[in-house]
Amino acid sequence: MQTKRLGRTGPEIPPIVLGGNVYGWTLSEADSLNQLDRAFQAGLTFIDTADVYSVWVPGHIGGESETILGKWFKRSGRRSEVILSTKVGIDMGGGKKGLGAKYIRQAVEDSLRRLQTDYIDLYHSHRDDLATPIEETLGAFDELVKAGKVRYIGASNYSGARLAESLETSRRNGLAAYISLQPEYNMMERAEFESHLLPVVEKYSLGVIPYFSLAAGFLTGKYRQGGDTTGSARGPAVQKYLNERGFAVVDALDEVAKAHGATPARVALAWLMQKPGVTAPIASATNDRQLQDLIAATELSLDPAAVRRLDEASAPLSQPA
């Protein structure tokens, strides 16, 4: 399995990042542990999670995914062989939110405890915090890097302007700098990344690990014209794609998948892996078939005609201002 460097200074990573958002949510603890074993053996050694996963589930308080990962690290003894990414900043309730220095110091200790590790490879600002000075956030991250609790830092859900401002702040003040960006980017969500984020990524040589790579499952072909999304945990997230453009994208995926002897999910991931700026997409799986799609996608190379077909079908209807 080929690897790419995450940004100019980051680690070498596999071509797919395994999403841990499903652990303890749509995948039980036992099934999550088994999946982690299989994924590791297949070479998927970069795992992404967040402290807030899965606070939205009734009865959950957040940290469920990190807790399961911690149990797997303890059981498997594979911690040193895995690149671990987690995040801080989204509201977990009880005032636990934001990117203030005091909260970051508290949140990292909570994550380390749940993960049963003494360091995090890549620690993300999960969402920009306009109420906290950039210098304060980066200063707190710099302390964690110097203390060895965090190896690298990254940003998620930042605008291009705020990302550039953060990088320049690090440069001016000699602080730890973001080496990567985790944006929403897929065949259905192209405009924001391609128009406003990609120029910043290229200027500063950042790594890019997009989330929602399969558009909440829409790009697997599961949701089709006249289909019913009720009963699906992802159903509400795909409603906005059930339109003429969305079904045209599914048709194009079907066509390319048939020509390549693949599935729509594999094609959608392969398309993303071949896009400018992208290092490795994040994707999660809730069963063996989906995990196999992730693994197989790492070996799928699309020819230029297939990429053009998918580009044309998924072209944004309008560019953001």
Span 182-212, pLDDT tens digits: 999 999 999 999 999 999 999 999 999 999 9
Span 290-321, pLDDT tens digits: 999 999 999 999 999 999 999 999 999 865 55
The structure's pTM equals: 0.94
- Bridge-based pairing state of the strands 178-182 and 150-156: parallel
Pick one of 3.40.50.720, 3.20.20.100, 3.30.450.20, 3.30.70.1400 as the CATH number of 4-182: 3.20.20.100
59 CB neighbour count, 10 Å cutoff: 5
Span 217-251, pLDDT tens digits: 999 998 876 555 555 555 678 999 999 999 999 99
- At 3, is the pLDDT very low, low, confident or very high (cuts 50, 70, 90)? very high
Q: What confidence score (pLDDT) does residue 1 get?
A: 85
Q: How far is the C-alpha of 246 from the C-alpha of 224, rounded, in Å?
A: 9
Q: Is 53 a catalytic residue?
A: yes
- Indicate left, alpha or beta for 283 from its phi (over 0: left) and psi (-120 to 50: alpha): beta
Q: What confidence score (pLDDT) does residue 184 get?
A: 98
The tokens of 226 are what?
């006249």
Span 19-43, pLDDT tens digits: 999 999 999 999 999 999 999 999 9
In the predicted model, what is the mean pLDDT of the chain?
Answer: 95
Q: What confidence score (pLDDT) does residue 236 get?
A: 75
Span 122-139, pLDDT tens digits: 999 999 999 999 999 999
Across 107-133, average pLDDT: 98
List 23, 53, 123, 158, catalytic entry: 53
The tokens of 50 are what?
């967040």
Cα within 13 Å of Cα(245), Cβ side: 15
Alpha carbon separation from 77 to 50, 71, 72 (Å, rounded): 21, 10, 8
Q: What confidence score (pLDDT) does residue 232 get?
A: 54
Among all chains, which residue has been given the structure tokens 């020509």? Answer: 259
